[in-house]
Amino acid sequence: MKIGIAGYGNLGRGVEAAVELAGDMDLTAVFTRRDPETVKVATDTPVLPMTKIDEMAEDIDVIILCGGSATDLPVMTPEIAAKCNVVDSFDTHANIPQHLAAVDESAKAAGNIGVISVGWDPGLFSVARLYANAALPVGKDYTFWGRGVSQGHSDAIRRIDGVLDARQYTVPVEEAVQRVRNGENPDLTTRDKHTRECYVVAEEGADLEAIEKAIVTMPNYFDEYDTTVTFITQEEMDRDHKGLPHGGSVLRSGVTGIEGEFGDTIEFSLNLESNPYFTGSVLAAVARAAYRMNKEGESGARTIFDIPPYLLCETPREELIAHML
C-alpha cells in the first residue's frame, strides 16, 4: 500500500522509519508546510508542499497526519479525510467526540476511512483499558506515565525568564504503582502518583531561586506535584538529555466471583526509548488497518476500539491464528 506523511517533525520521522520497515508499504511522499527544499528526510522520498495533496491523493492509499493536536489536526484531519484515507494522533482527550464527528462527516461523504487518536495514549493504553474493563467489569483503573519526557512541560519551563533550555521528566511514584499491583485499590491524589524532575539551563547571572520558584508554583503544570529542579550546563543537557524516552503503565484491579471474592490485577506497560518513533510505528500499523477496512467498503471515522486487531499486522489472519493465538 502507498503511504503519505503530512507534517515532518519528530513524529513524521518516526512514521517514515516504520513505513520503511514494513514489507507491504511504500512511502510515496512527505508533505510539508515549510519550503520543501529545506526539509531533509531520512529516506529518498520526495518532499512536496502540503498543497500538492489534492493532486496526489488519488495515488496514495493512506496519509498519516503528523501535525499537532492543538491547532493542526482539528482542521487538517477532516479536510484531508475528504481526499484520502487518513490516520491521526489527536490527543486532546476532552475534544475527541467532537473531532470524531467532524472526521466522520467528511470521511463518510468521500467514502474514506479516518482513524483518529492513534498512538500509545490515546491508543494502545486505551485499548488496554478497554480489554481490562471488559474482563473485569467491577474494578478500578489507574494510569501511570513515565519515566519520560513531557514536551508540554519542557516548553512551559522554557518560557520562563532567564531559561535557555529545559527538559522535564514525568516520573511515576514507585510505591504507588506497587500498591496498585498488590491489589490494594488505593485512592491516589495527583501528588501521590507522579513526581516531576526538571533539568534547566539558565542564562548567565540569572536568578536561579526565582526560576525554581516560578517552576514549582506554576499552576496546572507543577503546583500539584512534588517537583525537583536541577540546573545544568548546555553541554550536560545535550549530552544527557537528548532522547525522548517515555512509557508507563495502565493497571486495573478488580474482582470476580459470585460475591466478588477473588481479586485480580491486569497491567499493560510500555518502556520506550523513543516516544515519537514508537508512536510512528503504531500509526503505520493502524494505516494498514485503515487501508484494509476501506478496501472492504467501509468508510467514516474510526478509533482503535473499532479495529479488529488482526487487521493491524502484516502477517495474514490465518497465520496469526495458527501461530500467535
- Binders of a second copy among residues 267 to 296 (CB under 8 A) are 267-274, 277-278, 280-282, 285
- What part of residues 22-61 is at the interface with a second copy (CB under 8 A)? 22, 42-43
**Closest approach of a second copy to the CB of residue 144, in Å:** 13
Scan residues 303-322 and list those touching a second copy (CB under 8 A).
303-310, 312-315, 317-318, 320-322
Using the minimum distance from each CB to a second copy, give the nearer residue, 236 or 306: 306
Category of 257 on φ-ψ map: left (φ > 0), alpha (ψ -120 to 50) or beta: left
We find the least distance from the C-beta atom of residue 91 to a second copy, in angstroms, to be 10
Nearest-approach distance from CB 243 to a second copy, in angstroms? 8
Closest of 279, 264, 291, 242 to residue 181, by C-alpha: 264
At closest approach, how far in Å is the CB of 45 from a second copy?
12
| Backbone φ and ψ of 37, nearest 5° | -60, -30
Q: Which is nearer to a second copy, 163 or 172 (CB)?
A: 172
**Cell (9 digits) for 201:** 539551563
**Least gap, CB of 233 to a second copy (angstroms):** 26
Torsion sign (Cα): 54, 55, 60, 66: negative
Nearer to a second copy, 7 or 14 (CB): 14
Least CB distance to a second copy at residue 129 (A): 5
Distance CA 255, CA 282 (A): 31
User: What distance, in Å, lies between the first and last C-alpha atoms of the chain?
Assistant: 26
Nearer to a second copy, 83 or 167 (CB): 167
Q: Which of residues 124-163 bind a second copy (CB under 8 A)?
A: 124, 126-131, 133-138
> Of 48-56, 78-86, 212-220, 257-265, which part binds a second copy (CB under 8 A)?
257-265
CA-based torsion, 221, 227, 233, 239: positive or negative:
negative
Which of the residues 191 through 250 are near a second copy (CB under 8 A)? none
CA angle 277, 246, 86 (to 5 degrees): 40
Q: How many residues does the chain have?
A: 325
The residue within the footprint of a second copy, chosen from 27, 87, 100, 214 (CB under 8 A), is 100
Map the footprint of a second copy across residues 163-192, applying CB under 8 A.
181, 183
Least distance in Å: CB of 229 to a second copy?
Answer: 28
**In this structure, are residues 314 and 22 in contact, taking their beta carbons and an 8 Å threshold?**
yes
Are 187 and 159 in contact by the 8 Å Cβ rule? The answer is no
Q: Beta strands 62-65 and 85-87: pairing type? A: parallel
